[in-house]
Structure 1
Amino acid sequence: MAHAADMSRAGFAAAFKEVIGQSPGNYVTRLRMGHAEDALLRTDATLATISADVGYTNEFAFATAFRRTHGLPPGRWRAAHRPTLQREPAEVAHRDAGPCPDAHRARGALARHIRGPPCAGS
C-alpha cells in the first residue's frame, strides 16, 4: 500500500492510522475477519475455502488469526453463532435438476429446499 501511495512504509502507516484510526495491518485483519464471519454464518464452505477467500495462504494461519480476534477457533465460532435451521445449503443449483437423491430426502427438515419448488417425488 505504501508503494502504491508513493510513500515510505513508516510515513504511510502513520498517515493511515491518523486518518483511519488503526494501523494498516489491523485494518486489513478486521476486514478479512468480517468477510470470514459472513462466510461462516451464511455458507457451509470449508475453513480451507474461507481462509483462501479472505486472503490467507493456509487455514492454520487463518485459524490462528481468527482465534486471536474472536477468542474461539472458526469452527467453534460458527457452531456457536449460526442457528441450525437458518443455514443456507452449500448449493441450491440442483433445485431444478429433477428428483433429489434418496439421501437428500432422508435428511428431514434440514434437507428441504429453502428456495424454489420441492423436489419431484417429495
Structure 2
Amino acid sequence: MTGRATALGAGTVLNALATGRGSAFAIDAETTATVELGGSETTGDVAGDPALDTTLIERCLDLTTSRHGAGEAGHVRTESEVPTAAGLKSSSAAANATVLATLDALGVPVADDPGRDGEADGGPTVDRVE
C-alpha cells in the first residue's frame, strides 16, 4: 500500500510557548512524503540529504499505523522545498506530510476542512494553547 501527501512550511511571528498565544503563517514551500507500507521494520530517508535524522518521520509512520491500521511497518521518503534548520517548520511539515501519507496508504479518509469555516468572515482569531 502506497500513500502520498504534502504539507506546507511555516514561519513563526510569535511563539506560543511562553504565553499560550502565538502567531504563524504558511509559506509557499512544500514537503511531500511518500509512504510504502510493508516489510518488517520502519525506515526512512530524506531526498537530497541522506545524512539527516529520520527518527521523527519513522515515528510518525509507526504511531499512525498503530492507531489507524494494524501496526504495519513501512518506508517513508520525504522531498522538501523547505530549508532545514532555518526556523521554517521543516520538521513539522515533514511530520504532517508523513502522517497524511500514511493515512492515505491505509485508506483512511481525511477531512479537507480546516475547521475554521467562519474565520474568513470573522477576521483573525486567537487560539489558546493548552
Larger relative contact order, structure 1 or 2 (CA cutoff 8 Å, min sep 6): 2
Identify whether the pair has TM-score above 0.5, normalized to the shorter chain. no
Higher strand fraction (1 or 2) = 2
TM-score, normalization by structure 2: 0.20
Asked which structure has the greater CA Rg, the reply is 1
TM-score, normalization by structure 1: 0.20
